[in-house]
Amino acid sequence: MGTFSKSEDAIFRKGPVIFVVTGTQAPFDRLLSIIDKWAVSQNAYSIIAQTANSEINFNNMTCFSFMEPDIFNEYFNNADVIIGHAGIGTIIMALENKKKLVVFPRLVKYNEHRNDHQHHTAFGFEKLGLINVAYNEKDLFRYLNNIIDIPVKRKINQNAEKNLLEIISNFINK
C-alpha cells in the first residue's frame, strides 16, 4: 500500500469499478475486511480502496493509503459504485455527481470513531431518501451481491438547494 500520485497511471479498469472510500483520518478495517471477504467470490469488479493507513494487507482489492485529491476525484468520478464511510464529504460528493452510493457508518462500539455521528448522519440522509445505507455486514453483503440494483439517488446541485438545507436543518435541530 502506498500513495497514489499523479505520476502513476490513473484508472486501471478490469470491468466495472467499485471505489471504497474510508476517509483520511483513520483506517476503517471493519468495512475493508467485509469487502475483501466478499471480493474472494467475485471477479466481475475491480475494487480500488483508499485505506487511510490501515495495517492490514487486503488481498482482493487494490489499496492505497492516500491519494492525491485529483487522483481521488478521478477514481470517484469514474467508479461505477462508491462504498464508503458515512462522511458528509463522501455523501455530498456522491449526490453532486449522481453516483451509486452505499454508506457503512463507523461506530463507536468498534472504536471506529469518538461518537456515532456517522450513524446519525446516515440515518438522516436515508430517511430523506438520499442515500443507501448498510448498517451491518449482512446489509452490506446484500448490496454487494446486487450491485446492479443499487439505486442512484437524485442529483443535488453543488450549491445546496434551499429545501434540502431546511430539511437537514430541521432534522439536526430536533
Q: Is 18 among the domain residues? A: yes
pLDDT the model gives residue 3: 47
Instruction: State how many domains the chain has.
Output: 1
Q: Is 4 among the domain residues? A: no
Strand partners, 19: 48, 82
pLDDT the model gives residue 133: 98
Q: Is 30 among the domain residues? A: yes
pLDDT the model gives residue 15: 77
Q: Are 64 and 49 in contact (CB under 8 A)?
A: yes
Q: Say how far apart CA 3 and CA 64 lie, in whole Å.
A: 6
Strand partners, 63: 49
Q: Say how far apart CA 149 and CA 64 lie, in whole Å.
A: 28
Q: State the residue range of the domain holding 150.
A: 13-172
Q: What is the pLDDT along the chain (174 residues), one digit of tens a residue?
A: 454 444 344 445 467 999 999 988 889 999 999 999 999 999 899 999 999 989 999 999 999 999 999 999 999 999 999 999 999 999 999 999 999 999 999 999 998 988 999 999 999 999 999 999 999 999 999 999 999 999 998 777 766 667 777 777 777 776
Q: Is 146 among the domain residues? A: yes
**pTM summary value:** 0.83
Q: Are 102 and 133 in contact (CB under 8 A)?
A: yes
Q: Is 164 among the domain residues? A: yes
Q: Is 143 among the domain residues? A: yes
Phi-psi region at 166: left, alpha or beta (left = phi > 0; alpha = psi -120 to 50):
alpha
Q: Say how far apart CA 166 and CA 80 lie, in whole Å.
A: 30
The enclosing domain of 42 has a CATH number of 3.40.50.2000
Q: Is 8 among the domain residues? A: no
Q: Is 6 among the domain residues? A: no
